[in-house]
Amino acid sequence: MKKSDRQLGMDRDITRRDFVHDLSLASLGLTLSAGVLVEACTGNPESPGTYYPPTRTGMRGSHPGSFEAAHALAREGKRFPDPVDLDEQYDLVVVGGGISGLAVAHYYRKQFGADSRILILENHDDFGGHAKRNEFHQGGQMRLSWGGTMNLEYPMFSDTVNALLGELGVDIDELLKGSEFEYGSGPKGSPSIFFDAETYGRNELIHGFSFRAGCGDNVESMIDRFPISEESRESLKTFYARRDNVFKGKSEAEVSKILSGISYTGFLKKYGGLSDEAVNLFIKTTHGYAGVGADSLSAAECIDASLPIMHLLGYSELSGSGDDNAGGSVAMFPDGNASIARLLVHALIPAVAPGSNATNIAMARFDYSRLDEATNPVRLRLESTVVNVANRDGGTSVSYVNHDRVLRVKSRHAVLACYHTIIPHLCPDMPSEQKEAQAYQVKRPLILTNVLLRDSKAFDKLDISGAYCPGRLHGAVWQVKGVNTAGYHHDWEDAGPVPIMFWGSVAPPDASVPARVQHRASRAMLLAMTFEDFEREVRTVLDGMLSSAGFDVQKDILAITVNRWPHGYSYDYLDLWDPEWPEGQAPHEIARRPFGNIAIANADAGANAYTHVAIDEAWRAVLDLNC
Ligand SMILES: Cc1cc2nc3c(=O)[nH]c(=O)nc-3n(C[C@H](O)[C@H](O)[C@H](O)COP(=O)(O)OP(=O)(O)OC[C@H]3O[C@@H](n4cnc5c(N)ncnc54)[C@H](O)[C@@H]3O)c2cc1C
């Protein structure tokens, strides 16, 4: 049943070479898992001598070389003594070049003057943090995809966020007009479910079915094709056919209490009458959307996730419409919120891409050699992991590791726009209560693997834009097409090279423990996975799902970019696992208090993963700084 690596084409077409960062880290005495880089497909514009990370393939996201110094500091207690003092003095040093850190630099210039000298230190080889651009080139065409953050969740924007996006020239209406991507239920192709042979005994693609939306009149015949037991199929058919109110006679408050006190899967079992086997099919529907399984979310939280529940609460609808992975029209750039990061960097350092603006930013080729020039008031330094931040002499001192060197700069202010969990190690002198509060934040691991296919013919023949895969590592697979914004065009009608995005998280070995414990276990599993593990996984899924439509797994895969995010979504508090804290006493509120000349930003400071929260927290952090 299981295909060999050779049959899957693991030895074909894509070549590998060792990742270049190994050498510099070895000299620091840091260990590095064997990283591999898949050479980009034809026409990769990162030619020797140029530095252009968006086209890098292989293991990206938290790539080898980006996290070892921080892990050595936090996990092994490694110290970085005797830093070399650089002859550089700043008004502000920002730790972290994600959207929050970039927004901090933008706001600081507004508050403290446009000529403020600012240094942004970022541990990855690219800026943007989760807002990561994946750029492929094939046959003279550029194909873009999201390496992380995708949507602008504009209905939730504060005035602060709207004002910033306005300054950057972002027009949400224009983005909406140009976006036809709808997470598997777009204009071309129906949502579908892929049952894989390794998990379910045979490969079965159920065209037109969505766990969220059901499938109208055909629900029974579709469920009849599910490769699960007869009992489970029957329980699903009954579930989708029901329209009743399981809480008839109870008050709204009573219903709300029940729904926020039971897991979604518990609800499906207890009130939906589903078998265990049927319930398990739903678990990964929330992996990408929430970074956690539907077994760890409350039923109330899964109403927000548009999972079927309403039809058992007295409504005729199952849920909001959509597919199994969020859904609905969205405001997007073709490289996701990497365009926001790029617009911010362009505003701070115009020389990186002269002439760029929000209407053409997706096509801009950034000149990375301009990021860190002494003549520019704002400098962005990549591959620089901060290991110490201290209040000193009315200002701050910041030490960081850049390749094999430990360096130190001085500044008037510092803003930590990095993960909260690293802050106690960067600032050991902070009050214990604050450090404990920072440690409460355990980001949710996520994976976003992009696979460039030679063409989309097999998807088109099957008339699917993607599929939900309940038995696989990545719960969702989609064609990335139809985001025609910011100067970029890739129409649904174009059957040429196409990025396929695999999205999901790593299921923890034990989902009965608190979510934060699950996330730590999933993170360890994610970091232990090699590039070959991901390659084998995506080849297996594409072969099983598409080979009946002419897809050749040995020839049709051109490039693979794994964006692994062991520290993904910021942890937001969950009904089932977190208490309610009094106003001002929630961990994130204690964690983000200013400390001398040091303030704290990042989405973690809002206990909420979204891009707009990262921006709101940047503004608050700048206001926290003393003049
Ligand atoms: C896969 C994925 C999909 C997402 N999709 C969406 C979406 O569709 N919509 C949405 O609104 N949000 C989404 N998010 C949430 C996303 O996290 C936020 O949108 C936002 O990008 C967070 O920005 P940030 O700057 O706070 O954090 P980050 O993006 O994490 O940036 C912080 C940066 O600081 C760096 N850093 C950490 N420690 C150090 C150190 N010691 N020295 C130097 N640098 C350091 C980090 O490596 C990182 O680059 C998604 C997140 C992920 C992972």
Please write the tens of the pLDDT for every residue from 577-624.
Answer: 999 999 999 999 999 999 999 999 999 999 999 999 999 999 999 999
Listed as ranges, residues in the chain with pLDDT below 70 are 1, 13-49, 185-187, 320-329, 627
Closest ligand 1 atom to residue 70 Cα is 41
Which residues does a 6 A CB cutoff place in the pocket of ligand 1?
70, 95-101, 121-124, 129-131, 148-151, 153, 337, 385-386, 417-419, 422, 446, 448, 565, 568-569, 602-603, 609-611, 614
C-alpha to C-alpha distance for 24 and 5, rounded to whole angstroms: 32
Output the CA–CA distances (angstroms, integers) from residue 146 to 124, 128, 135, 149, in the order listed: 17, 12, 9, 7
The pLDDT value given to residue 561: 97
pLDDT for 213: 74
Are β-strands 204-207 and 192-195 bridged in parallel, bridged antiparallel, or unpaired? antiparallel
For residue 1, the model assigns a pLDDT of 66
Identify whether the C-beta of residue 605 lies closer than 8 Å to the C-beta of residue 591. yes
Angstrom distances, CA of residue 575 to CA of 179, 289, 611: 33, 17, 22
Q: Which residue has the tokens 């199994």?
A: 324
Instruction: Report the nearest atom of ligand 1 relative to the CA of 147.
Output: 1
Q: Atom 51 (ligand 1): residue with closest C-alpha?
A: 149
Q: What is the pLDDT of residue 327?
A: 45
pLDDT at 210: 87
Atom of ligand 1 nearest to the CA of 101: 25
**Ligand 1 centroid – CA 189 distance (Å):** 31
Give the span between the Cα atoms of 448 and 337, in whole angstroms.
Answer: 14
> Residue 222's pLDDT is what?
94
Query: What are the tens digits of pLDDT across the range 478-515?
Result: 999 999 999 999 999 999 999 999 999 999 999 999 99
pLDDT given at position 478: 94
Residue 182 confidence (pLDDT): 78
What's the pLDDT at 137?
95
Does residue 299 contact residue 260 with C-beta atoms inside 8 Å?
A: yes
Nearest atom, ligand 1, residue 73 CA: 41
Yes or no: say if 493 and 186 are a contact pair by the CB < 8 Å rule. no
**In Å, how far are 100, 423, 606, 625 from 598, measured between CA atoms?**
15, 11, 17, 7
Ligand 1: atom nearest CA of 612 is 11
Q: What is the DSSP pairing of strand 133-138 with strand 141-146? A: antiparallel
Distance 96 CA to ligand 1 centre (A): 9
Which residue puts its alpha carbon closest to atom 4 of ligand 1?
149
Residue 455 tokens, joined: 């063409």
Q: What pLDDT does 317 receive? A: 87
- Determine contact, residues 228/277, Cβ cutoff 8 Å: yes
Q: Which residues contact 266 (CB under 8 A, 6 or more apart)?
A: 295, 299
Residue closest by Cα to atom 34 of ligand 1? 96
